[in-house]
């Protein structure tokens, strides 16, 4: 088993990364780096440079920090010859992810920009079914409760936090994976809380009659749905891509293996020091923030 270091022991590290590594046949959690968080029984560092210097046995790091601080950690890891796995969205800006990709190539190490929702059960069969279809329309409904999924995480509303596009990037990662031809944004209406720097809701419209409604104020049942209309009928992905329905018939659904699948993929990549870097979901976020009309809505506090 290959040793790996997990950096940024917060919500997603605890919810998903730690259990996925523990169950993996490829990886053993050899260290953590976090200012406050730890994992029982695992050597814990608070300083990343110290871990890099003291643990040459660990050649891979998985960065679970929010996007803004993540670049400095990734750059330091690559400079120290480590393979790097990035949580989504892979950076705060497009250019910094491209810079990391170039650094990784020069250093001969793996850089993997993970998009966990692409590993949801229904996504690969949805892509396969749509590959030869004529798409007439598509709609994304991505509405969830920020207090439930990002409790007290002020960074999501700080510059670079991307607001509702933090979870929205999951929908965009699926959209860019399953549509047989690329689309580009034509219009964006963004709702900014009066006291915040990033949007809490967004209405987007792309070419190809593709639209999206994103909202972080949804209490009660959560909605993570994508519907694609084709000349051969309707494809629907529900529950963040876990359930696939085609023309009303259940085609695929099953237990969530998104994070185990990411670690399987990383294990395959590091064997040949290959990289997998995809910024296309982030391009749509950047375009929305470039093109978007700003609407000011009620102030938001956790």
From the list 149-157, 185-193, 201-209, 247-255, the region that binds ligand NAP by CB under 6 A is 149-157
Cα(257)–Cα(73) distance, integer angstroms: 27
Are the C-beta atoms of residues 214 and 201 closer than 8 Å to each other? yes
Q: Is 150 in the site for ligand NAP (CB under 6 A)?
A: yes
From the list 3-11, 211-219, 244-252, 288-296, the region that binds ligand NAP by CB under 6 A is 3-11
**173 — phi, psi (to 5°)?**
-70, -35
**182 — phi, psi (to 5°)?**
-70, 150
Q: Which of 8, 122, 168, 212 binds ligand NAP (CB under 6 A)?
A: 8
| CB 215 to ligand NAP: min, Å | 16
Q: Is 67 in the site for ligand NAP (CB under 6 A)?
A: yes
| CB 263 to ligand NAP: min, Å | 14
Minimal CA–CA distance to 84: which of 15, 96, 245? 96
Q: Is 66 in the site for ligand NAP (CB under 6 A)?
A: yes
Shorter beta-carbon distance to ligand NAP: residue 16 or 230: 16
Q: Is 65 in the site for ligand NAP (CB under 6 A)?
A: yes
- Exposure string over 128-156, b if 16+ CB within 10 A, otherwise e: ebbeebebeebebbbbbbbeebbeebebb
Verify whether residue 88 is a known catalytic residue: yes
Task: Give Cα separations from 284 to 132, 176, 200 (angstroms).
Answer: 24, 9, 16
From the list 52-60, 62-70, 177-185, 193-201, the region that binds ligand NAP by CB under 6 A is 62-70
Q: Is 144 in the site for ligand NAP (CB under 6 A)?
A: no
Shorter beta-carbon distance to ligand NAP: residue 85 or 245: 85
Closest residue to ligand NAP using C-beta atoms: 10
Alpha helix ranges (H) inside 112-207: 123-130, 146-149, 165-178
- Reading the block at residue 131, the tokens are 């590959």
Q: Is 11 in the site for ligand NAP (CB under 6 A)?
A: yes
Q: Give the active site residue among 88, 121, 127, 143.
A: 88
Q: Is 12 in the site for ligand NAP (CB under 6 A)?
A: yes
Q: Is 216 exposed, middle or buried, given 0-12, 13-18 or 19+ CB atoms closer than 10 A?
A: buried
- Reading the block at residue 113, the tokens are 């920009």
Report, as residue numbers or ranges, the catalytic residues.
Answer: 88
Give the residues lining the site for ligand NAP (CB under 6 A). 8-13, 34-37, 64-67, 69, 87-88, 149-150, 153, 155, 166
């Amino acid at each position: 088993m290959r040793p790996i270091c997990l950096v940024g022991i917060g919500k997603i590290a605890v919810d998903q990364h730690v259990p996925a590594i523990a169950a993996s046949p490829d990886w053993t959690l050899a260290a953590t780096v976090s200012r406050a968080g730890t994992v029982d029984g695992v050597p814990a560092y608070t300083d990343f440079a110290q871990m890099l210097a003291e643990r040459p046995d660990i050649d891979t790091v998985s960065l679970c920090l929010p996007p803004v601080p993540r670049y400095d950690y990734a750059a330091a890891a690559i400079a120290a010859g480590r393979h790097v796995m990035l949580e989504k969205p892979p950076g705060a800006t497009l250019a910094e992810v491209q810079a990391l990709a170039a650094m990784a190539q020069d250093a001969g190490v793996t850089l993997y920009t993970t998009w966990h929702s692409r590993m949801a059960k229904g996504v690969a069969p949805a892509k396969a079914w749509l590959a030869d279809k004529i798409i007439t329309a598509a709609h994304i409904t991505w509405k969830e409760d920020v207090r439930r999924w990002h409790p007290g995480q002020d960074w999501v509303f700080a510059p670079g936090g991307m607001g509702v596009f933090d979870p929205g990037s999951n929908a965009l990662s699926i959209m860019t994976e399953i549509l047989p031809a690329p689309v580009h944004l034509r219009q964006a209406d963004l709702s900014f809380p009066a006291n915040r720097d990033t949007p809490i809701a967004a209405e987007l419209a792309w070419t190809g009659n593709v639209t999206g409604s994103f909202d972080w104020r949804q209490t009660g049942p959560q909605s993570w749905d994508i519907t694609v209309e084709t000349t051969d009928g309707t494809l629907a992905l529900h529950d963040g891509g876990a359930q696939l329905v085609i023309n009303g018939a259940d085609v695929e659904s099953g237990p969530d293996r998104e994070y185990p699948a990411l670690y399987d993929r990383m294990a395959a990549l590091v064997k040949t020091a290959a990289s997998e870097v995809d910024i296309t979901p982030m391009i749509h976020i950047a375009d929305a923030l470039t093109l978007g009309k700003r609407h000011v809505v009620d102030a938001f506090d956790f």
